[in-house]
Amino acid sequence: MPERKMSPVLKWAGGKTQLLEHIVGNMPADYNNYYEPFIGGAAVLLGISPEQAFINDVNEQLVNLYTQLKIAADSVIAKVNEIDATPCTKELYYAIREQYNTKISSRDFDSECAALMIWINKHCFNGLYRVNSKGLFNVPYNNKVNGKSIDENNIRAISEYLQKADITITCLDFEKACDGVSSGDFVYFDSPYVPESVTASFTDYTIDGFTIADHKRLAALFKRLDGIGAKVMLSNNDVPLVHSLYKGYNIQSLNVKRMINRNANKRTGKEVLITNY
Ligand SMILES: C[S@@+](CC[C@H](N)C(=O)[O-])C[C@H]1O[C@@H](n2cnc3c(N)ncnc32)[C@H](O)[C@@H]1O
């Protein structure tokens, strides 16, 4: 549908750019509505650019970013360029981070908040997104003086796509975001992953706040959607817990490179792609 190929605006943990071809190759040939309840960096949505989609994420700033790219891309671009005009230093990074956190605290979700989020993502350590108990962003500076923080043509292409296609953007828990799914729809789930070290009896909180109870809730939803005749695909780590939660479905193992890991030895891993069709 869009004239040019689009790519994610943010570096995002679990970004699916490298697995995109494989994911797309395993999608059903036809379906009605497309649902992506954990949109994250949106690599899959932007890769397939469906004419209609329900996209969702629980991260309010991320949802604001897509909303602003849709309605106010020029303002977002102008603000990022304005910050980029000054070479980045440690002082500038922390000043921008403070501005961003002031926006978050006052729930001031606008084009400026979206621009700050993009700029910070390019200048923070490893493109991580981490907040403290008060919900404030606390990732340190990556010590790099980058050039431009955005590809303007990519942002304009995304904006045009979000305007022309029928895209509904919501900020809900994944279960609620699937309320409207019906027979013949296609849902792609890319939740935060089960940690590699976790066992089936592990019940504690994971670092990203997505608990084992959440993974069980997701597996129950997968089953429910399967039961109503939806087509469902899910990505996760290749660990025993995931195999036991999705027993009976088609489970493919895939080798992946992991960019966001402090330890260079842990930058390869195994994931699964699970389908009910
Ligand atoms: C692995 S990332 C998705 C990566 C994405 N496929 C990409 O290519 O960048 C998981 C996303 O799930 C979101 N998330 C975490 N808990 C959630 C929940 N309960 N409901 C909806 N989204 C949630 C996070 O904010 C994060 O953006």
- Of 103, 102, 127, nearest to 114 (Cα)? 103
Q: State residue 219's pLDDT score.
A: 98
Q: What DSSP letter does each residue of 85-130 carry, written as one string?
A: TSPP-HHHHHHHHHHHHHHHHTT--SHHHHHHHHHHHHHBGGG---
Q: State residue 259's pLDDT score.
A: 61
Read off φ and ψ for residue 257, nearest 5 degrees. -95, 140
Task: Report the nearest-CA residue for atom 7 of ligand 1.
Answer: 15
Q: State residue 1's pLDDT score.
A: 58
* Cβ of 46 less than 6 Å from ligand 1: no
Mean pLDDT per 10-residue segment, the chain (277 residues): 82 88 96 97 96 96 97 98 94 97 96 98 91 90 86 97 97 98 98 78 59 94 98 96 97 82 68 97
How far away, in angstroms, is 93 Cα from ligand 1 center? 25
How far away, in angstroms, is 123 Cα from ligand 1 center? 21
Report the distance separating Cα 111 and Cα 113, nearest Å. 5
Q: What is the DSSP letter of 193?
A: P
Q: State residue 265's pLDDT score.
A: 61
* Cβ of 12 less than 6 Å from ligand 1: yes
66-153, CATH topology level: Adenine-specific Methyltransferase; domain 2 (1.10.1020)
* Cβ of 47 less than 6 Å from ligand 1: no
> In which element (H, E) is residue 167 found?
strand 166-170
What residue spans define the domains of the chain? Answer: 20-58+173-275, 66-153
Pairing of strands 268-275, 250-257: antiparallel
In contact, 20 and 190? CB cutoff 8 Å? no
* Cβ of 127 less than 6 Å from ligand 1: no
Question: Do the first three CATH levels of 20-58+173-275 and 66-153 match, i.e. the same topology?
Answer: no
Q: Which CATH architecture has domain 20-58+173-275?
A: 3-Layer(aba) Sandwich (3.40)
How far away, in angstroms, is 151 Cα from ligand 1 center? 23
